[in-house]
């Protein structure tokens, strides 16, 4: 039995059925929502005008305090608000997910007779869709929906035609603040920051123009792979992780990483504000930029990338079957991984020396790969010791590797695979901004 509350009464209906009166009430609510939304927005519009003029409706202008504003008369260019007054309203429509809403937009006039243009915050200039529609479009795009799929869903709710170009503007607007970094103050910056990059494909205009079959002139574009450089903040004592910054770059060279680090430094990511250690792979571009910007900050070489390099450097006997090769590689890498699982740095060094003595003759290339910048892979022990002196416990799995950042990149790759490639730089920035917001 289904029981539906209507006012102070309870209506009963057989299981699986809804009383007709309940449906009628819900339909009436749906019909009333656009009008309710319109009244609320009109109230906020009037509040904006009152706050700007400094006086209530029908209050004399001489009773308001004189003040120069950024708003000016289109005729005399006056910016003194005491000379402005209300001049009625004009009708304007706004599409929301609850239906079409009618607004009464207040108007201003100057003492000279000229019109005064005022930019409202409640509803922007030439804004056709409500904020709820914008949020819906951005969430659907983030979920991997195509423009046509979003258009179909949106038209069902707004009961109005929505153009693909309109959706495109909503999506591209997400990339306007794409490269902004968070600002850090003293003691607020993450103690540990992981750095890495992800590559993707985007179309860039070559400057040439071609004519298609319909006689239209189209710009010639060429696919190009570019990286997104990312920084993930880590608070090891609490386990908190957060994407703190990202930037589209030309490559993972020294210049690109230098630019990225300079932005982070300007945002307050400094030792004075709490930065203790950075974690990265063994890229030469990052290494050079690090030596220029953060050379006095402890650097941890990613253990996961070191193990991957060891796997590539292994020399396997040709007569071994695939299963035997896989077993040998697995045992070799597990034996190497025990080095960084040691309880302290001295024990890790002892395991390292024993490992090198064991494999020096049979796997010289892999041994040399391990020995290369090995000390940098043990930096996390120094970070743990420093944290202990301050009464904090920093688990090693937060410090040894950039793997958590790599796992975050899986979501980027999933979204990029759906798009295959981006036909504009603005589209790339919009998609990256929307995905990055989920990890910030």
User: What is the mean pLDDT, run by run of 10 residues, along the chain of 440 residues?
Assistant: 46 57 78 87 92 85 79 90 89 86 92 91 84 78 71 78 73 56 84 92 82 85 86 93 88 93 93 94 92 93 94 88 90 94 95 94 93 94 94 94 89 73 68 69
Say if residues 103 and 38 touch (Cβ distance below 8 Å): yes
With DSSP H G I counted as helix, E B as strand and the rest as coil, what are the percentages for the chain, rounded to 5? 45, 20, 30
* Residue 298: per-residue pLDDT: 96
Q: What percent of the chain has pLDDT over 90?
A: 44
Return the exposure string of 203-224: e unless at least 16 CB atoms fall within 10 Å of the residue's CB, then b. Answer: beeeeeeeeeeeeeeeeeeeee
* Residue 287: per-residue pLDDT: 93
* Residue 14: per-residue pLDDT: 57
C-alpha distance from residue 333 to each of 236, 328, 342 (Å): 26, 9, 15
* Residue 1: per-residue pLDDT: 46
Q: Check: pTM over 0.75? Answer yes or no.
A: no
Note the pLDDT tens digit of each residue in 244-276.
988 888 889 999 999 999 999 999 999 999 999
Domain ranges of the chain: 2-57+66-127, 134-175, 192-437
Collapsing DSSP states into helix, strand and coil, what is residue 374? helix
Return the exposure string of 329-363: e unless at least 16 CB atoms fall within 10 Å of the residue's CB, then b. Answer: eeebeeebeebbebeebeebbebbeebeeebeeeb
Return the exposure string of 374-391: e unless at least 16 CB atoms fall within 10 Å of the residue's CB, then b. Answer: bebbbbbbebbeebeeee
Say if residues 373 and 410 touch (Cβ distance below 8 Å): no
Residue 321 neighbours by CB distance under 10 Å = 8
């Amino acid at each position: 039995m289904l029981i539906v509350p209507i006012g102070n009464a309870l209506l009963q209906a057989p299981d699986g059925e809804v009383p007709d009166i309940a449906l009628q009430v819900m339909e009436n609510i749906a019909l009333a929502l656009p009008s309710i939304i319109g009244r609320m927005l009109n109230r906020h519009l009037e509040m904006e005008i009152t706050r700007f003029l400094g006086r209530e409706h029908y209050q004399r202008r001489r009773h308001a305090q004189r003040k120069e504003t950024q708003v000016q008369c289109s005729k005399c260019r006056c910016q003194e608000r005491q000379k402005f007054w209300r001049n009625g309203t004009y009708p304007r429509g706004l599409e929301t997910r609850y239906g079409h809403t009618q607004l009464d937009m207040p108007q201003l006039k100057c003492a000279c007779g000229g019109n005064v243009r005022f930019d409202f915050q409640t509803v922007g200039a030439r804004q056709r869709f409500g904020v709820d529609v914008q949020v819906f479009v951005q969430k659907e795009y983030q979920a991997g929906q195509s423009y046509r799929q979003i258009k179909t869903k949106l038209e069902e709710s707004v009961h109005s035609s929505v153009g693909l170009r309109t959706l495109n503007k909503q999506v591209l607007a997400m990339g306007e603040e794409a490269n902004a970094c968070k600002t850090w103050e003293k003691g607020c910056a993450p103690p540990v920051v992981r750095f890495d990059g992800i590559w993707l494909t985007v179309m860039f205009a070559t400057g040439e123009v071609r004519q298609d079959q319909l006689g239209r002139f189209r710009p010639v574009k060429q696919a190009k792979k570019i990286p997104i450089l990312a920084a993930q903040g880590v608070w090891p004592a609490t386990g908190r992780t957060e994407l703190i910054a990202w930037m589209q770059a030309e490559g993972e060279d020294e210049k690109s990483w230098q630019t990225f680090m300079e932005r982070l430094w300007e945002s307050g990511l400094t030792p004075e504000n709490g930065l203790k250690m950075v974690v990265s792979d063994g890229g030469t571009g990052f290494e050079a930029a690090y030596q220029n910007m953060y050379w006095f900050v402890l650097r941890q070489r990613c253990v996961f990338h070191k193990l991957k390099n060891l796997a590539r450097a292994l020399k396997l006997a040709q007569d071994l079957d695939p299963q035997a090769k896989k077993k040998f590689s697995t045992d070799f890498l597990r034996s190497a991984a025990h080095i960084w699982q040691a309880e302290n740095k001295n024990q890790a060094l002892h395991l390292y020396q024993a490992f090198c003595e064991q494999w020096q003759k049979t796997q010289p290339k892999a041994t040399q790969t391990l020995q290369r910048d090995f000390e940098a892979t043990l930096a996390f022990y120094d970070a743990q010791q420093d944290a202990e002196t301050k009464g904090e416990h920093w688990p090693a799995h937060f410090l040894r590797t950039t793997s958590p950042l790599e796992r975050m990149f899986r979501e980027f790759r999933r979204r990029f695979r759906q798009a295959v490639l981006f036909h504009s730089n603005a589209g790339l920035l919009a998609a990256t901004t929307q995905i990055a917001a989920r990890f910030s």
